[in-house]
Structures are given as structure tokens and as C-alpha cells.
Amino acid sequence: MKISKTIAKALTISAIATPALFAATAFQNQVGYLTNGLKQMAVIDAAGKDVVFKDSEGNVALTITAPEAETWIPAGDTAASLVDFSEIKTAGTYQAYVGDEKIGHPIVIADDALEGVTKGALKFFYFQRASTELPEEFAGKYARAAGHPDTAVKYHASTGHTDLDATISSPKGWYDAGDYGKYVVNSGISTYTLLQLYQHNKDYFKDLKLNIPESNNEIPDILDEIKWNLDWMLTMQDTDGGVFHKLTTKQFASNVMPEKATSQRYVIGKAQEATWNFAAVMALASEIYQPYDEEFAKKCIVAAEAAYRWAIANSTTYFVQPSDVGTGSYTSAVEWTTRMWMLAEMYRISGEQHLLDSLKKWPITRKKAALQSWQHNYMLCMFSIATNPDIFEKDIADTAKSIILDMADGYISSLDTNGYGVPLVKEDFMWGSNGIASNKGMLLIHAYILTKDEKYLSAAIGIMDYILGRNPLDLSYLTGFGVNPIMNPHHRPSRADTVVAPVPGMIAGGPNYKSTDCSKSYNNPNAAAKSYYDNSCSYATNEVAINWNAPFAYLVGSIQAIAATGKSYDVTTKPETHYQIASIPFAKGNLRKASFQESQRLVVRGQAIQVELKDRSGNKRYFNLKGKQIH
Ligand code: 9MR
């Protein structure tokens, strides 16, 4: 049922007629606003009334007459007026009033108002580390023993391995979510998102300290944290270049601390989805780590190339969840979008024409675009192309940019009648809605990077504010931050430890009006943004996950970095390194044995990608990707 205009009007009229019954209230970012940034709050039942902002000494800093109320369909709310108090540009703590009545929470304004949440959202990844103890020095009261050494992981038959008693060592990495699984597809997009956060804001992140064990080394902390997961991802590559889909137990663990979850772990499946994804991430990693750790950077690019070769040769192998496995499946990703993303990344750092030629065989058009997620990597490819216009051909760079701007403009159009100033629509409120919201924010930041048009940054701030409290439940969805943060996320360590408050810095999946778990009775299609249950039993509204925290970190981290440095990413920046992908000696496979050759490289011949070997006299021989000589 839609809220009719008549009811909306009646509510507004009665609000004016009987103010005592409809006390004004307000929803706001509960953490903080940037001194020179956009500042908005949603004030309920106050249209036409004065909202007075007082500083900590009670002096009036600003008075704004609340504008007409506007319906925001996901809130099921017809009485919210969006009050903009950006004019306050002096740091401090303020309070809003309507008449004598306080509305909302204390308003914090500071130049570094978002630094704490940026660090918090990144520190979450430290708390998710597998295979290591978290000592008090870094984890405070959330200190815990090491869990999941993952040094003796068995092969599941779905990997194609036949010696099922053999084990591999695959330590480190981040736990995916509230469970203790490690899944390449989801790890890939999360890792890539964090690498982009660094890539786009290097000046800000190079010195930002996260208080992690590596904080005293020469590498920026954010890159140290990301490397913890890259190190694990590298171990998931089989000797033939293919990448295992996931590393989990056969069934989810019960609600115990990591060190108590000791069932046998397996590497499961080996298919193209994880392999393309892995290659894309390793390609970007090879560039980012090059100035800090050349050897590691080389390792990443060789791994990327081996994965690429395997995936080309196995492009019809899809992951299928084995019948004896019940952990997250991460199946049915739109595989060709991952392939496009990988081709863009490999081309970007190598300039190898055959990669661009392959990429251009796929459609670059608005019709195929969908918001980035673990299932759909199309926009990651568009981001890569559009933010590197000097590397990609002009026409495709222009098209990629127009796709991003068109999507961003679509989000902004939902602000036209929206008393919360939040560019989200009902359909966004499904499993992981805060991840969807954060990814929209990430896309809006890209639109800002590409145009420097403030409207995109403002819309991104609207999404961040929503997650931090400008929502109809008056909740900060980020644990440990804000006046009224969520308290009971579906997160095994937070449930099993003895600390009342959950591990900080985690965003909840968020409202999901189609939930089928214990939050089902909260489903409300007429107020989708209220379909939420702060109870750890609810994995469909209250789980946490690395692929939701990563775009949230990108969002808040970019907004803070842009404010702190006074600039955003310059799209004329070239990669700091240039790899000749096709001329790097193959690390693995049959061809390794052919050590006499002068050089070996991938080439496109007709429709096929082949390996060209050139001996010292310049004679060439060609092999297919399985190592069979063509002629
Ligand atoms: O984020 C995933 C969501 O898109 C799917 O609809 C859902 C059901 O398959 O799974 C979510 O991912 C979960 C994964 O399968 C296991 N770890 C926890 C993830 C977050 O809930």
C-alpha cells in the first residue's frame, strides 16, 4: 500500500494543529559533520517551524525554517523536512531545537569528523584476520586467541584433486562475514575496493595509522591490512593457475570464538569466476605494491597472468556448490562482467593491445550496467576505464564515463521529493542494503572524481549520513560509532566473546524487507527502510561482511580524504609501473620446462590466444594454452 497524498496532507495538517501530540524529532549523522562540508538533518513534523542551532554555550549559531515536508517512500514517512545547516562552519558541538524542545542528538562538527569512522571501518578488517592472535595492544578488549591456522587444509573433490588426504597451507586472509569462511569471489571485490580507496586518496592514506602489528613498517597501514588478505588469496591458486573458489568447513560453525571452531577446512571448487576475479585484483595489487615491495608486486602479476591463462582455457567451468557443502556459495556471479573487469585491469597496467582487443568484444553500454556487487563486476570495469582516459581509447573512456554519470544522475533524481535527502529507493532494501547503499556512494564518488561536480559528492554524503543515523530508525548502523549504534550483529566473535558491545567498526547488512529469517515479522514493504531487527539471529538484516564494510570504508574514507587534502583523484595519473604482461616468464605449467627460449609471450592469432616462444636465433614456435605445440 502506498501512502496516499491525502493521508500525507492530513498528517501534516494535524502536526501543525496539534504540536503537542506530534513532537518534532530529527534524524541525523550521529558521528559528525565536516566543518566545510554539507550538513543536513531530517526533521519530522516541523515544516514551517524554526529550527534553531545552538553552540555548546547556548548561543544561537543559525536558525533555519524547516521546508515543506516530503515523502521518502522507503521510510514510509510523509512528514520529514530536510534541513540544511551547512552554513555553520565553525567546529564544535551544537544542538538543534524547535521552540524549547531539543531535537536530534548533539551535532559534532570538525575538520576530521570522519577520521575515526574511516579508521574504524578499516580496523574491522584487522578484527576479521584469520590465523593470528589479536593481542590487547591492537585489539583492546576484543583481544582474542588465534583461530584457523589453515596450514593443513584438505582438497574437496570439487577441486579436481584426487588425493583427498593431501593438504595445502592457506593461512591468513579475512573471515568473510559473521561466519569463518574465506571466499575468493567476495574477498576479491572487497580487496579491490580497498585498493581503490588507497589508489584514489594516496596522500591521505599514506600516513593514516590503524594501530595494527605492522604499523611501524614503511608501508601505509591500509596496504599492510590489505596484504594480509592478498597473501591468503595467493595461496588459493592451484599449480595450474586456476583459483579455488573458497576455503571453508563443510557446514557453518556454531556461535563460538574462532579458536573453538576447529572442524576440518577444505579448499572447495576451482572455476573461472574466482579465477578471473583473482586476476583482476592481483593486477591492481601489482601496481599498488610496486613502490613498496617489488618482489611481492612481481608475484602478484605472475599470479594474475597464470590465472588469466587458466581461465581462458577453462572458460566454461562454473562453480557449482557441492551437495555435501552448506557454507556460502557465491555462485551465479555474472561471469562475463568479471572477465571484462579483469581485462581492463590487465590492460591498464600492461598496455598489451590483445587485452584491449578482447575487452572491446564485450558490450560497453548503459544497458548492460548494474551497480557493482560480488555478483556483478561491470561497473568495476567502467571505473577502471573511465578513471584512466589516457590509457584506454577515448571513445570507450567517454562511454564508460557517461555510464557512470547516467547512473549517478539516476540516484540523484530520487532526491527530488525526499525529506531525508537520501538517494536510496525501496528496491535497495534487500539483503546487504547498507552494502548496496555504500556501493552507490562509491559510484557517486567516482562521478565526482570524473566531473568535480559537488552534487555527486553531496549525494554521497547523503548516503553516508543515512548509514550513520539519518534514517527512520535513528540508528547508526556502524557498531561502536554514533549515539545509538546497533548492538547485536550476526557476527560469531561478537556473540561468543564476553564483551557486551560488539566488535567496533562493522556495518550491519541493514534493512531488508524480504527477509526470511527471525526478522521476518519486521518486513514492511511500505517502509522498507524500517525492515530491520537488531538481533544476532538475523543474518539477513544484521550480519556484517567484508564486501559491505569495504565500500563503506571507500565512501567515508574518500569523503574525509577529499576534505583533508582539498583534492580528489586526478584521472591523468598513470600507473607507477608498466608491466609487459606477455613477456613475463610463465611461472607455472608445461612451458616452464622450455627453458632454452629467449622469450615467451601471449599473442592473439586468429581467434586464439597462444604462447609464442622465440629462441636465440629469432625462430618462433607457437603453443596453445595447454602447452601443446601448434606448429
Ligand atoms: O551477501 C550474500 C548475499 O548477496 C546472498 O543473497 C546471501 C545468500 O546466498 O549470501 C550473502 O553472503 C553470505 C555468504 O553466503 C556467507 N557469508 C556471509 C555472507 C553475508 O551474509
Residue with CA closest to ligand 1 atom 8: 328
For residue 547, give the ligand 1 atom closest to its CA. Answer: 1
Instruction: Name every residue whose Cβ is closer than 8 Å to that of residue 437 and which is 6 or more positions away in sequence.
Output: 424, 428, 463, 466, 467, 510
Residue with CA closest to ligand 1 atom 13: 328
For residue 539, give the ligand 1 atom closest to its CA. Answer: 21
Pocket test for ligand 1, best of 330, 376, 436 (most atoms within 8 A of CB): 330
Q: What stretches of 239-352 show up as alpha helix (H) in DSSP?
A: 272-289, 294-313, 335-350
Q: State in Å: Cα 248 to ligand 1 middle.
A: 14
pTM for this entry: 0.90
Residue with CA closest to ligand 1 atom 14: 328
Per-residue confidence (pLDDT) for residue 602, from 0 to 100: 55
Q: State in Å: Cα 328 to ligand 1 middle.
A: 6
Nearest to 268 by CA among 289, 242, 287: 242
Q: Are 86 and 103 in contact (CB under 8 A)?
A: no
Report the catalytic residues. 179, 490, 534, 543
For 352-389, the three-class secondary structure string (H helix, E strand, C coil) is CHHHHHHHCCCCCCHHHCCCCCCCCCHHHHHHHHHCCC
Q: State in Å: Cα 230 to ligand 1 middle.
A: 21
Vertex 330: Cα angle to 477 and 517 (nearest 5): 50
For residue 176, give the ligand 1 atom closest to its CA. Answer: 17
Q: Tell me the average confidence (pLDDT) per consecutive run of 10 residues in the chain, 631 residues long.
A: 37 37 80 98 96 98 97 93 98 96 97 98 98 98 98 98 96 98 98 98 98 98 98 93 96 97 98 97 94 88 87 90 98 94 93 90 97 98 97 96 98 93 98 98 98 98 98 97 97 97 98 98 97 98 98 98 97 73 40 41 54 72 67 64
Pocket test for ligand 1, best of 124, 179, 180, 438 (most atoms within 8 A of CB): 179
For residue 540, give the ligand 1 atom closest to its CA. Answer: 21
Question: Which helix (H) or strand (E) segment is 604 a member of?
Answer: strand 599-605
